[in-house]
Structure 1
């Protein structure tokens, strides 16, 4: 599934849903704020004080704001196929928006760089395996040698009914976070039928096939996983 097409046909082009977007990750993604903080720390291990960071799937602006607040001298380029989500990102950033260049489109529209780091958070599960590999490779070509790349998205074991178990836990966490049971189950059904969820082993293989090395798992939150790798 092409992310641009998916966004255009779903909530990411719906004004009301976009306005509520910033509430979603905190309710559906275990440890979301801490995962962002860990990502920022992983980037900071190698990004210079005046570093330039590429954010793929920047719509909403949550990680942009988190990274900009943590690192007051970094600047950012953010890419997203949803114009509505980019507008929300600008709003989310507030006065920090002056440090960000936003680009409407998929990875191909991103500047060539070279960037000191890149992230792709809660995005890659919107694209099929081959497009995911292409995205990762395009990100890799835009990075300085040795630059860190952080990716985090839905990634679950899928043999012997494990997929259903993990998606049920995904919904249960949302209910425990205050989401109505009916809405959590609808979200689970949409995730199961519309998203491209691979196994952790497949996700790690894609990073290696795209030219990244030293792929390391740094985050697990029920159905979500996050990795850091290096160009």
Structure 2
């Protein structure tokens, strides 16, 4: 999907985004729990780059769990970042985060970071080379041996596994108050996201200058990987 279209979608849904997905919060809660474990040995004063920070879900979790860390929130949707800023302000955490309403490749950030997160972001990038460049831009902003945590929708469209998970996903979305027919989901996977097999996503990340990614998470179509910057 084109960048402007993705930005438009999130700009128009920012105010209702968290409420829409509230009943499915167990998904993000389990992902955040594992993210915290992966990052738990970072320095006391770690700085975390959050690419596609959205409304700040992972920042809030990590900021609560690691009260001496600071964060950089990057997202092209200023509306989503406004929600993120408000949520952090209400928790007294706004001063621990810098906000950039832009794409990472357009920024000249003044620092390098101990870790970076990219949660359900690269799936919107259609071209393989552009997706590699996305991760390469993250890699450039990491310190030596810096950690990347990435999550994306992933599966091989049309495969045996895909067809069965599609049914489970549709039922889960309905129970979560976000009903979607199987055909609507299938269409979305072809037109709105670049759904690739797990192995392909891992290869793209590794091609961008990271060690071999380790898959640590799966919830239906959502897969998560972590890896270190390759020096």
What TM-score, normalized by structure 2, do the two folds share? Answer: 0.88
Question: Structure 1 residue aligned with 2:60, among 49, 65, 80?
Answer: 65
Residue in structure 1 matched with residue 104 of structure 2 by the alignment: 107
Conserved 8 A contact 1:40-1:70: yes
Residue in structure 2 matched with residue 54 of structure 1 by the alignment: 49
* Residue 27 to residue 212, structure 1, CA distance change in 2 (3 Å): farther
Return 220-229 or 129-138, whichever deviates more. Answer: 129-138
Per-residue CA deviation, residues 174-198 of structure 1 (Å, 9 max, x unaligned), is 112233456x875664344211111
Structure 1 residue 93, shift from structure 2 partner:
1.5
Per-residue CA deviation, residues 90-127 of structure 1 (Å, 9 max, x unaligned), is 11212211100010111112615310000001111111
Question: Structure 2 residue aligned with 1:127, among 119, 125, 130?
Answer: 125
1:6 aligns with 2:17: no
* Residue 160 to residue 228, structure 1, CA distance change in 2 (3 Å): closer
Per-residue CA deviation, residues 147-171 of structure 1 (Å, 9 max, x unaligned), is 1110011011335464444333222
C-alpha separation in 2, matches of 1:75 and 1:160: 42
How many corresponding residue pairs? 225
* Residue 119 to residue 126, structure 1, CA distance change in 2 (3 Å): same
Q: Secondary structure at the match of 1:137?
A: helix
Structure 1 residue 24, shift from structure 2 partner:
4.2
Gaps of 5+ in 1: none
| Aligned-CA RMSD value | 2.2
* Residue 196 to residue 63, structure 1, CA distance change in 2 (3 Å): same
Conserved 8 A contact 1:25-1:32: no
Residue in structure 1 matched with residue 216 of structure 2 by the alignment: 218
